[in-house]
Chains A and B, each alone.
Chain A
Amino acid sequence: MSAGAPRARRAVIRALEHHLPERVVTNAELAEVFTTWTPEKILEKTGIRERHVAAPEETAGDLAFIAATKLLERTGLDRSSIDLLVLCTQSPDYFLPTTACILQDRLGLPTTAAAFDYNLGCSGYPYGLAIVRGLLESGIASRALLVMAETYSKYLHPLDRSVRTLFGDAASATLITAEDRDHPALGPFVLGTDGSGAANLIVPRGAHRLPGGGSPPRESADESGNVRSDANLFMDGPAILEFTIQRIPKLVAELLRRAELRADEIDHFVLHQANEYMLRYLQRKIGIPDEKFAMHFSHCGNTVSSTIPIVLQSLVESRRLEPGHTVAMIGFGVGYSWGAGLVRWDQEGAA
C-alpha cells in the first residue's frame, strides 16, 4: 500500500449487513445438556453467551437472502446495477445448482450478473474479497455482492460439547464497487492452504467419498464423552490449535511485509472469531494491544465465514472504524485454509 499509487480502478467496500436466525441457544440451555459445565464456565472458556441457529426448514440460502435484502434496502441500491454475486458456503441449499444462482433470482438481480459459490469456511471472507477485487479491478464486473452464509448447526450432534458451544449460524452481505481512486482500498492479500489438515475439521459423510443415505450413521462417544457420527462435524481442537500456533503469527507478519507496514500502523486487527481462548492467545502471541484488537461474537458465536464482516460492521456502527483507518483481516480454519488482507477504510459514505 505504497503512497503515490497511480489513479486506477479500485475495489471499495461500500456497505455491510448481516442476519442472525431467530432461534437462540443460550449457555443455560447448553449447561442442561452438558452437566459438567455451568453457563458461567461456558462463557469463561468460549467467550460466547449465546448462538443463533437456523430453523429446521431454514437454509443458508434463506439467511443469505435476508442479509442481502437488508443491505439492498438500506442502501437503496438499484438491483439492476449489481453485476456480480459471489457466495461462500459449506452448507449449500443443494449440491447443485449453486446457492448463488438461486439467490440471484430471489433477489431480483439481473440475468447479466455473474453468480457463483465457493466452498471455504473461516478463511472465506479474505478469499472472497480477493476474488471480488480481481473481478472488479480487471473490469469484468463493476458492482458486487459478496455473501457469506452458513448453517453449521445442521452438522452438529446435539451431544457434542466441543462444537455445539462454539458455532452459530449467520449470513453477511458486503457491497463492493469499482471506483477510480488514487490508492488501493483492498489488499494486499496473502492466501494459503495445507490440505494435510483436512481430516481435523470435517463432515466426513454426505458427499461422494462417503455418501449419505442407506443405513443410519453409527454414533459413538469420544474419550471426553462427546457424541457424534460421521454425518456430524468433527473438530480436533488441539490439532486446529497446533495449526494456528504454527501458521497465523507468520501469516500476519507476511501480510505486513507485503503491505510494507509496521504492526503499529494497523488501526484494527480483525481475526476470525473462533473462540475467546484462541483469540486471546493470538493477541498475546502477535502482540496486538487491546484497543486495536476487535472482538464481537459473544452474542452469536463462531459464525464461520461471517465472523470478520460481522466485526467490521460493528466497528463501523460504533464509529471505531473511521476514514483513513487500516484494517488487517485474518481468516483461518477448515481445509486447512488461511487468508489475510488489508482494508483501507478511506471511503466516505460507506456503512
Chain B
Amino acid sequence: MTRQEFVREIRKVLEWPDDAFDESTELKGHDKWDSLGRLATMTFVDEELDLTLSAKALDGIQRVEDLVRLTTSKLD
C-alpha cells in the first residue's frame, strides 16, 4: 500500500465527512478521531499492514502525517 492509498483508506475508515483529507488534516480534537475512530484505525492498520499501533502512540497524533509516520515502515 502506498502512502497516498493509506491516506485514502484512513479517510474511509474514519468516515471523514469532508473531501479535503490529506496528510496535513488535523485529527486531534475532531469528533471522528474519538475512541471509536482510533479503534477503527488500530484494527485497519493491524489487519492491512500487520502492525499494532499502541494506544499511547495514537494519543500523540495531531495530524494525518503523524499516523503516516507511525506506519511508514509498512508502506510502499
Q: Residues on A close to B: CB < 8 A?
A: 36, 45, 162, 200, 223-225, 236-239, 241-242, 245-246, 277-278, 281, 284-285
Chain B residue numbers with a CB within 8 Å of A277 are: 36, 39-40, 43
Residue of B nearest to A243 (CB): B55
Chain B residue numbers with a CB within 8 Å of A36 are: 31
Check if B42 is an interface residue, CB within 8 A of chain A.
Answer: yes
Chain A residue numbers with a CB within 8 Å of B25 are: none
User: Do B43 and A237 have beta carbons less than 8 Å apart?
Assistant: no
Chain A residue numbers with a CB within 8 Å of B29 are: 223
Q: How far is the CA of A333 from the CA of B67 in the complex (A)?
A: 27
- Central interface residue in A236, A241, A277, by most chain B CB within 10 Å: A241
User: Do B35 and A162 have beta carbons less than 8 Å apart?
Assistant: yes
Shortest beta-carbon distance from B16 to chain A in Å: 15
Check if B52 is an interface residue, CB within 8 A of chain A.
Answer: yes
Known: A36-B31, A45-B36, A224-B35. A238 touches B46 (CB 8 A): no
User: Do B52 and A246 have beta carbons less than 8 Å apart?
Assistant: yes
User: Interface extent on B, as a size class?
Assistant: 20 to 34
Nearest 8 Cβ contacts at the A-B interface: A238-B55, A239-B55, A237-B35, A224-B34, A238-B38, A281-B43, A242-B55, A162-B35
Known: A242-B55, A245-B52. A237 touches B46 (CB 8 A): no
User: Do B47 and A238 have beta carbons less than 8 Å apart?
Assistant: no
Shortest beta-carbon distance from B33 to chain A in Å: 9
User: Do A237 and B39 have beta carbons less than 8 Å apart?
Assistant: yes
User: Do A241 and B47 have beta carbons less than 8 Å apart?
Assistant: no
Please name 26 pairs of A and B residues whose Cβ atoms are closer than 8 Å in the assembled complex, sorted by A.
A162-B35, A223-B28, A223-B29, A223-B34, A224-B31, A224-B34, A224-B35, A225-B31, A236-B55, A237-B35, A237-B36, A237-B38, A237-B39, A238-B35, A238-B38, A238-B39, A239-B56, A241-B39, A241-B42, A242-B42, A242-B52, A242-B55, A277-B36, A277-B40, A277-B43, A281-B43
Q: Which secondary structure dominates where chain B touches chain A?
A: helix
Check if B2 is an interface residue, CB within 8 A of chain A.
Answer: no
User: Do A241 and B31 have beta carbons less than 8 Å apart?
Assistant: no
Q: Within the complex, which residue of A162, A224, A242 is in contact with B54, where a contact is CB–CB below 8 Å?
A: A242
Given contacts A223-B29, A238-B58, 19 further A-B pairs with CB under 8 A are A36-B31, A45-B36, A200-B55, A225-B31, A237-B36, A238-B39, A238-B42, A238-B59, A241-B39, A241-B42, A241-B43, A242-B52, A242-B53, A242-B55, A245-B42, A245-B43, A277-B43, A278-B39, A281-B43
Residue of A nearest to B58 (CB): A238
Q: B1-46: which residues lie under 8 A (CB-CB) from chain A?
A: 28-29, 31, 34-36, 38-40, 42-43, 46
